[in-house]
Amino acid sequence: MRAYLLMIAITAVITFVATRYVIKFTLKHKIYPEIRTRDSHTTPTPRLGGLGMFAGFLVAMAVAASLGWFKSVFVQGGPILGVIIAASIMAILGALDDVYDLDWTLKLAGQFVAAGILAWQGVQIVSLPIAGITIGSFGTSFVVSVFLTVLIMNAVNFIDGLDGLVAGVVLIGTSTFFIYSYLLAQKTTPSNYFSLASLISAIVIGMCLGFLPHNWRPAKIFMGDSGALLLGLLMTTSALSVTGQLDPAFIAQSNLMPAFLPMILPLAILVLPLLDFTLAVLRRLRAGKSPFAADRMHIHHRLQDFGHGHLGSVIVFYVWTSVISITCLLLFLAPPSYAVAFGVVGLIGALTYTAWPVISKKLKAKETVR
């Protein structure tokens, strides 16, 4: 665990420092977009925060490669090379879009290229035991892995509309996934519990911790597509890598939960972003627009219209992410009854907080009548 904590600390420090330099550079050269009607901020703010996060990622990978702890992770160069190349594509393409506002078809093509390189280099679904059935076809695994990567990247990117929203949601979700992947590695390979999934998760945690102080309201910088797409890519990398840790012979019928969680947990954590992404695409296609055309009808916008403030809307996402991710983790760590009990209580709490603006208005109206 000390090795992973060290990686989190190094990534956080480098990301924090690099982001400060990005802020100074972009403000000095006035590299920031004009304020749009759908924006929640009123001061011109740069959107290249993803470059600071990318710097943290690169330095962390270089440090990890030089440490003996992670020797087993870097033995096979293909997956590591795939992650670095795919991450570089997303960071560069996202940065170009943050500055020049690229056409959505070009961005989508770049996402498929990055996801394809990642899967081609071995970061894909290796096995997913379901009642004794495993995914053994390279073609099927490749297609499903690419689809999931592109889907999660866009889901993360779609909710990037409020200060601290994406970084906080990814931090909460990835922290949960890190605990899961770390404990799973201890169970499956107790002699060597260092894995690519846990390493990438630790780096993502550090990236979010280092970036959040600059992005907390009022944000000095936004992560932009360069950051959101990068985080989505790395989250998917962790999830896909975990499937390689699962030995079908190890997972018995009574121990199927570890086999399901690699795919369930990331999707569950991102249930609100995925819902937002799906509704946005359907809404825009129905209107005859591009599925990636910007509007002000995302869930975080509707929460503000519903009565939540800026911070309140962000906390709604934090609460739902925490409830869902911890419930899923408890399915792996504790008896199902514990997970169900926590999930029910958490669901009631999350629903209450989400609906609080309406509840508070009704309570005030009753007091006024009295």
Q: What is the pLDDT along the chain (370 residues), one digit of tens a residue?
A: 888 999 999 999 999 999 999 999 999 888 877 765 555 556 778 989 999 999 999 999 999 999 888 888 888 778 899 999 999 999 999 999 999 888 888 999 999 999 999 999 888 876 554 444 455 566 778 888 899 899 889 888 888 878 899 999 999 989 988 988 888 777 766 555 678 888 999 999 999 999 999 999 888 999 999 999 999 999 989 888 876 555 544 444 445 455 556 566 666 667 777 777 787 778 877 877 777 666 667 777 777 777 788 788 889 889 988 998 888 888 878 888 898 999 999 999 999 998 888 777 776 766 665 5
Paired residues of 130 in beta bridges: 133
Angstrom distance (rounded) from CA 58 to CA 71 = 17
Give the chain's domain count.
Answer: 1
User: Rounded to whole angstroms, how far apart are CA atoms 36 and 27?
Assistant: 18
State pTM to two decimals.
0.86
| Domain housing 194 | 2-369
Residue 267, both tokens: 């999707």
Closest listed residue to residue 54, CA positions, set 26, 97, 85:
85
